[in-house]
Amino acid sequence: MTTRILTGITTTGTPHLGNYAGAIRPAIVASRTPAADSFYFLADYHSLIKCEDPLRIQRSRLEIAATWLACGLDADRATFYRQSDIPEIPELCWLLTCVTAKGLLNRAHAYKASVDRNVEAGEDADAGVTMGLYSYPVLMAADILMFNAHKVPVGRDQIQHVEMARDIAQRFNHLFGQGREFFTLPEAVVEDDVATLPGLDGRKMSKSYDNTIPLFGSAKELKAAIARIVTDSKIPGEPKDPDSSHLFTLYQAFSTPEQLAAFRADLLAGLAWGEAKERLFLLLDAELGEARDRYHALIARPADLEDILQAGAAKARRIATPFLGELREAVGLRNFGAQASVAAPTKKKGARSARFVSFREADGTFRFRFLAADGEELLLSRPLADPKAVGMLTQRVTAAGVDALDLREDEGDRFSLWLDGACVADSPSFADAQALDAAMIRLRNAVASLATD
């Protein structure tokens, strides 16, 4: 089983060294493990909540996309996309909004913090609070649930949001699932062993403290930033205490154990701070130099970046589009023309259900057709030796249920059903990909209805 890992990066600002060590580097490492199916995206709809400057939004999206690719994210392996290229996400956000209790959102930390600040300042409690800020957790739930992520790597401040996504998923499953778990319940993962870097002044490196080291500035800018790192005033030759020096902590985040041991010994032996800064510069330059070149090459060709992200969006939508189709069906937003194929809420006497029909071929083999309630043929099985084999197979499909259905697309115009690594039945051919997706949804609904009928 692969684990689906999903995380979003809000596109405000330019990534700095702290983002790199704390989020980008570990995420890229994780995306390379064979069992991981990674979804990384630019949360650009979320960025609109905090920023009303179009140029900054655009610039930040570009810089963040280039940063992740330059740092080694493999966009063929991982699914890398912009949230705003997936129209299914805001649509799902609305479906979720309609089942989310207002009281749940009243408890969100980010919203509560704004209210507290207002109250303290003697303002109206909701002054400056937009619906975007208020509904932020629902949009985030849509990001996560759209792709049924198992694990969501986030910072501590985001754990509550992932828990809200779980709540909302459970509520939706309960209301509309009819025994089917539409949404996987996601889990927040907080990496405890990733480096939280100190900034130039020793406080946590953060844009809001203006103490950051730029990730892809020129070598000269990197040097200048390092020169601003605050140290104590011990003179060259005087022993320095590595453990109380954040310059040492920064070094530690990028060095091998051997390099670190040597650095520690030299500081204790009185290495001058100027020298120590030069060593940190060389270390960072070696770690980031190549990625920096790749970054500037990418930024210089925004049209290529656009192509990469469009390909990522297409990949993501191959999952999102049919899944949203199922969710629309589930809540009752159904095609009038296909009405009969949708299980009626109260079944009339004599109404037919989805069913298996077995028959004998002229050559003596046996097969079944799987028909929707309206009689549409959804699947035709491969030939089987005898009626007993047919019965066993149809029973297994029924028992396994819709969540275990292994459907695969064949040559673009049909799909097939697989069981234990073997193809057992095929769909008819369809005119185009949309008709194919729609038929897969009808099949899923029909299989789901077997469990309830």
Sign of CA pseudo-dihedral 102, 105, 111, 113 = positive
Residue 90: CB minimum distance to ligand TRP, A:
13
Say if residues 65 and 42 touch (Cβ distance below 8 Å).
Answer: yes
CB closer to ligand TRP, 158 vs 445:
158
List of residues 6+ apart from 57 with CB closer than 8 A: 11, 12, 44, 47, 48, 51
Interaction between residue 46 and ligand TRP (CB under 6 A): yes
- The C-alpha atoms of residue 61 and residue 42 are separated, in whole angstroms, by 7
Interaction between residue 17 and ligand TRP (CB under 6 A): no
CB closer to ligand TRP, 82 vs 292:
82
Q: Which of 62, 65, 138, 154 binds ligand TRP (CB under 6 A)?
A: 154
CB closer to ligand TRP, 158 vs 173:
158
Interaction between residue 148 and ligand TRP (CB under 6 A): no
Say if residues 64 and 58 touch (Cβ distance below 8 Å).
Answer: no
Interaction between residue 27 and ligand TRP (CB under 6 A): no
Residue 122: CB minimum distance to ligand TRP, A:
29
Q: Which of 19, 38, 158, 427 binds ligand TRP (CB under 6 A)?
A: 158
Interaction between residue 10 and ligand TRP (CB under 6 A): yes
Residue 24: CB minimum distance to ligand TRP, A:
12
Q: Considering only 1-9, 287-295, 374-382, 415-423, which stretch makes contact with ligand TRP by CB under 6 A? A: 1-9
Residue 180: CB minimum distance to ligand TRP, A:
24
Residue 220: CB minimum distance to ligand TRP, A:
31
> Could you report how far apart the first and last alpha carbons of the chain are, in Å?
31
Residue 373: CB minimum distance to ligand TRP, A:
38
Q: Considering only 59-67, 140-148, 314-322, 379-387, which stretch makes contact with ligand TRP by CB under 6 A? A: 140-148
Interaction between residue 144 and ligand TRP (CB under 6 A): yes
- Cα angle for residues 61, 63, 64 (degrees, 5° grid): 65
Residue 48: CB minimum distance to ligand TRP, A:
12
Residue 303: CB minimum distance to ligand TRP, A:
26
Interaction between residue 253 and ligand TRP (CB under 6 A): no
| Distances 175 to 30, 98, 439 between C-alpha atoms, Å | 35, 11, 24
Number of residues that bind ligand TRP (CB under 6 A): 12
| Distances 362 to 365, 381, 435 between C-alpha atoms, Å | 7, 15, 31
Residue 110: CB minimum distance to ligand TRP, A:
9
Q: Which of 37, 88, 143, 329 binds ligand TRP (CB under 6 A)?
A: 143
Give the tokens for residue 65. 């996309």
Interaction between residue 43 and ligand TRP (CB under 6 A): yes
- Which x/- pattern, by CB under 6 A, does the window 404-433 give for ligand TRP? ------------------------------
Q: Which of 140, 250, 342, 378 binds ligand TRP (CB under 6 A)?
A: 140
- The residues that touch ligand TRP, with contacts defined as CB under 6 A, are 6-8, 10, 43, 46, 140, 143-144, 152, 154, 158
